Every structure is written in C-alpha cells, then in structure tokens.
Structure 1
Amino acid sequence: MAVRTPGEKMIPFPLKHAPASPYDLPLKSFRIVKTLKEQRLIYDLQLVCREWRQIALDVLYEIIHLSSTQIERDRSGRFRTESLLRTLQDSKDADMSYQVGYGRWVKQLTLDIHHCPIHPVKRIISLCPNLETLIMRKGRDWSRKQIDTNLREVLPKCRSLRRFEWLGVSCTRADSTAMSAGLGTLLQTCTSLRALTINCVNTEPRNPVPLHMPNLLELNLMDAHRETLVALAKWTLPSLTHLSIECCRNLFKAELKAIAQHFGSHLLFLSLRSNCHLHHGELAFMDYIMDEYVRACPRLQILVLPSEKSLRIVPSTQRSLTITHIILEPYYTWDQLAHVMRRILAYDLPALRCIWVLNGWDLRQPNSSRFEHACRARQIRVEDENGVDLLEIWR
C-alpha cells in the first residue's frame, strides 16, 4: 500500500503490523490520527491539510514493526526491508527537490524477520539516529561472524539507544548463537543502554562472556543455562536494580546463590522462574532460593512469584522490611492461589502495599471474605495487571 505525498512521490505505507495502534501510545499527536481514522481518512491523506498529513506520518513512523512469517520465502523478507529502506533514507526527486526520510523520527524498531540478510538490517538501524528501543528476533540465517561484524558498526552510533532485546534463535546453523563473544564485547560499547534482554538458548558454553556495563539498570535473561549463570556472577553491573532470570529446565542452587550475593545489595526488582514445571523434590529448593535472595537483597521492593512452583514458593523464615509489591503469575486453580495468599498474609511484610495477581479475574471464589478483611485491615490492595480491584470481584 502507498500514499501520495507533496510532489506526487509514492512511498510505501507502514506495514500491517507497524506502527503500533494509536490508541496504545500516550502521545498528543495521536489524537489527530485517531480522529482521522474514525473519519476513514487515514489512508487518503490528500484530503487533509499538509500540516495534519505531516503530523500523521511522523507519528506513524515513531514505532515500526517489520515482520514476516516463517512460511514466507526469502524474497518476501528482502522486499519488506528494501521498501522500508526507501522510506527511512533521505532522497532527491527528479526535480532535485530534497525529501527528508522518516528514519530520524523512529523511536522503536522491531525486526521480526525469519529470512533476511543482515546487511539491509544494518542499513535500517543506521538510518535511525534517534532510536531508543531495538528489538531483534528470528535472524536464523545470520552467522556469528556476521552479527559481530555488522552490528559492531551501527549499534555504538545509536547514542539514544536505551533498550536492546536480542531474541534471535537459530534452528539450522550451529554457529549462529544468541550471545557470542563478539556480541558481548559489542554491548559494552553501548554506554547509553539501560535495559538488556538476551535469549541465552544458544549461548556458547565454552566461552561465557563477562560483561562490564556500568549504566545498565535492567537485565532479563531467558533460557539461561548453568554456564550463563556462572558468567553472570562475574559481570560488573554496579547500577543494576531490576533482575529477571528464566532458567532452562533446571534451577542451579550454587550459581543462583552466587548471583544473589553478587547483585543483591542494590536490587529493587527480582523475578526468578524456570521454563518448565519443577518436580516435587525441587519445590523445597525453590523455597530455599527465595529465602537466600530475600536475605541477600536488603533493598528489594518488588518480588515476582511464579505460579508453576506450586504451593511452597513464599519465603517462610525471613523477614523483609522493604518489599512493597508482590506479583503473582497466573494461577490455574483457586486452591493454589488461596494457599499462597494465606502464606503472604502470614509472612512478616510490614511495608507490603499491593499484591498483583495476573489474570486474577478468571478465578472467581465466593468464600474470599477472610482475604478481604485481612487485606483491608493492613491496607493491602489486591489488583490485576489493569488495576482492577480483585477483592470486589472475588466477593
């Protein structure tokens, strides 16, 4: 799809999944876009004055999601990237009039392409000097050498980059790792990064990379193996306040305890889970790990308790004076949730102010008055992820 801009030049309209819905982003300019969409004029920008047309295009290009499904051929992914390149870069018409590309307005870029060469991706990133969020997925045809060589040239130039999510998973090539030595060295040069997410499913086990990132505030590791946790205990992250770890298959007692002792003094947010259900013999171990983390985190304020760890997941022997919020992941039965709620209310948490139960409105139980009385007396709110009062729903 294409729209006509002043000068009768045809440019590709944003793809189907890019940008995000105007209703989801709190930007004042989106009110104009919303009005245009309701009047069914958003795709016929010639009927709108030049100023409104410019505002609409600028806002639409602030968030770009470039995607192609797994069943599509290589040609599809390459066509999408080349079309986006022509839109982002500056150009000149036949009459030598200068056309400014929309790359400078891009704040968030998501590249979700299964079959695509890395060179156009490198050019796309280089055309977004004000990029703040970069999310990369499904680079299955990229080798480790290509990743290290091409991204090393463009990422350090993104001075405004605040969040980087590397979720690429290789299914066919043995040398396409999610976190190679070169990528680890590259991340250390991005001094503006504040949040980092890495899928460690293909982390090189023989050469874990210790990172030194003094400005990093948030770290999220997915599918972490034992080697990844050993390397994490050696990372230098003095500003880290938010830590989320998803272990692959098993929980590793010694490695997690070392991480707690290494980062616990300045952690404010903690989420620890496994990507599979644990056996009964490991449930007590999970209880022990939570105790170790709470003891090692004197400033911890938000604690995430995963539901799949069954009934014994709340620390039962340690007292915390700083935890203000507890997040409970979705529960499948009311009995599990009721047991955990009783443990939380019996635990010594004088600073606790809110319990977030994700998808808690699905669990309707009429006999929850004891929870309501105890929570009201201690001024503890029980809400879902949207701020809905669950105590009113559970009546």
Structure 2
Amino acid sequence: MSDTRTPPRIVGCVIAKDEERFLADSLRSMRQICDELILVDTGSHDSTRAIGEQLADQVADFPFSGDFSEARNHALSLVGDADWVFFLDADERLHTGQVEPLREAIETAGPQVGGITLLRYNFFPTGGFYTGRELKVFRSRPQIRYERKINESVKPALARDNWGIVHSSALLTHIGHARPRSERDAKAIRYMSLMHEQLADQPDDAVLTGYIGLNLRLFGRFDEAVQWSEKALGIDGTNPTVWAFHGHVLRAAGKAEEARQAYEKGLSLRPGDASLKNMVGVCQTADGDLDAADRTFAEVIETEPTLLHAVINRGVVAQARGDYAQAEAFFLDAARRFPPFLTEDAVGRLEVDPLHPLYFETVTGYAGLAHHLAFARGCREGWLIPERIDCRAAV
C-alpha cells in the first residue's frame, strides 16, 4: 500500500545584513527542502536584498535594534500556513547529502516533538572546526518565538508547552568563520557587547557567563577567560555545558591536565555525551597517550556516529603512529561521508591567526582534512618522507 500522507509544509527563514558573499548558497541549499523561503533584511548596504528578491519568496525589511530575537520573530510573523520552520543564518548551508536525513527527521517526528536539532560544523579558513548541536527546525506555532537579545532560542517557548526536542543525524555547515580575521574579530566584539547587555538582564545565566569566557580566548585574554569560566561554575557547577566551556578555556590557557579533568567532570554529569568524550580523546592525543585516545574516539563513534570528527581524530592518531594507510582510510571515510570537511580557503592560509586553532575539536595543530589526507597518502606512497621526532610532532 502506498503512503498517501501529505508531506509537511516547511518554510525557511533567514535574517541577514550585508551577507552577499554567503546568502545565495544558503538560500539555494534551503530550497532543497523548503516549500517557501523568507528573507528579513536588517539593514544591508550591499546586494543582500537583491539576492533575496531573486531567490526567496518573500523579502522584508526590519532594521536591527540590537535584539536578534526581534528580527527573527518578525520573520516568523510572515510564515503563514506551515507545519515546520527551518531557520538558518546567512552563512549556514545544508549540504546536498544532508537533505534526506533532515527530511526523514521532520517526517517521522511524533506529535510530542516540537523541535529538531542538527549537528553544526563551524569551519575556519584552514579547514579547522568546532561543533555544536543547534535547534534549527521547529513547529510553526504562534506561541513558539525566540527569546533573548543574543544566543537567542525558541527552547524556552517549547519547554513551556512541554514540546520535546529530538536530534537528527543531519549535519549543518557553517562557514562564517571563513571571513577575514579582522571581520571575525569585529563581529566577536559586537557580540560580546550584546552578551554583557543580556547578562545585565539575567546575571545568573551560567551558560552565557561561560560563553563570555569562551569569547575572551579569541583575544588572548586567557586569565580573564578563566575567571569568567570559574564564575560560571560558581553559578551552576552541575551544568555539563558549563564544564565543557571550562575545559575549552583551560585548554586554551595551556592547562592541559586541568582541561581534561573538566571534560571528564562534564562527562560524569552527562554520561554518554559523545562531544565531551571526544575532547577527552583530544587531550589524550595531545599528551601522546595514543592508545587511550584511539579507544576513546572509537567509543565516541560507537556512541554517536554523527560525530564524524571522531573519525578524523582516529586518523590523526594513526598518522601520529606512522600508520599512514590507516590514517588515509579514516580521512577518506570522513571526507566521503561529509565533503565539507575538505573545504578551505587559500587566502585564509596566509592569515596570521594563532588563536583560532584553540577552538578546534581536534589537536590544535590540525591543518584541515585536505592537508592531512594528502600527507598520509604521500607518506604511504613514499614520495613524502616525514621527519619523525616524537609522536606529538607528527600531529
């Protein structure tokens, strides 16, 4: 018997300002799954609006007031008849291979499910990355609206009406960090200002407090970053996310052993958290404990196969051991399953940027999958002879 159910109607929304470099690819990627696209321009001076008029179904103006939720909620007010909303940033895109996993998650969502997350890979120009699970898909309901000026979310609205949130296996690509370093830094400064404004309204927000510490890493202000991270733990020391942030800050500050302990503490509070376990493995790799690291990454993959960077990290371990055939196999597996891992910007290779590698969810010396794949293949085929000093130098 054929399935006669009507597919859910999905409307895609984007708010943007001066995003002409990224917007077209974002909208085209959304068109693969959305029935309608809405762009809200928050005050562009470039061709952002013209791109929206060409590729979106609705384009509206809403001058930015310093409150991201206001702009997003204006977009939601234009949605009309829809079952689900897919809300992306202009510098995010859904790779072709991730359309069906996301569609399946939407079409199989039970009546109690109000939101769906995607694992987002945030790429830097060199191909380095960090990740986060982001709530990008949610039911179209008048009461589901964004809250907070920055780090805005519909999670509080979903919680009030007892909607559940499920994780999809779909991966999302974010290339906003591929901007020139000067733009990245300027954007971070603007966001920091908004975070402090938000914190004035909600001083006991442990996650936001910890997030300020994370951002201070960007400017090399490590002592302050640790202080903010410790302040966040003082607000809520039972929150695994706050412990993850603390681990990131300590790792950036050169306190490797304390960082590993922070990740393990977060893992004890949220057993089975594959992202935290991956960071334990990263610390083990950097410390040269390659056998333990390989076991840890294997456990990550078994627990959550979506975390494909654990496959890359196993490849890094194999590379450090000098097992180049195995390293190449791991790197190829990751590239085939998620081609955006191979993305990098040639001009970005010329930047002097010693701090952003501190964000990577692999060893800080990670040079992008394309580089590591070529290195492993060259060593395996014999036309590249690595200088073997110690295991850590190889990664």
* TM-score, with length taken from structure 1: 0.37
Which has the larger Rg? 1
Higher helix share: 2
Compare relative contact order (CA 8 Å, sep 6+) and give the higher one, 1 or 2. 2
* TM-score, with length taken from structure 2: 0.37
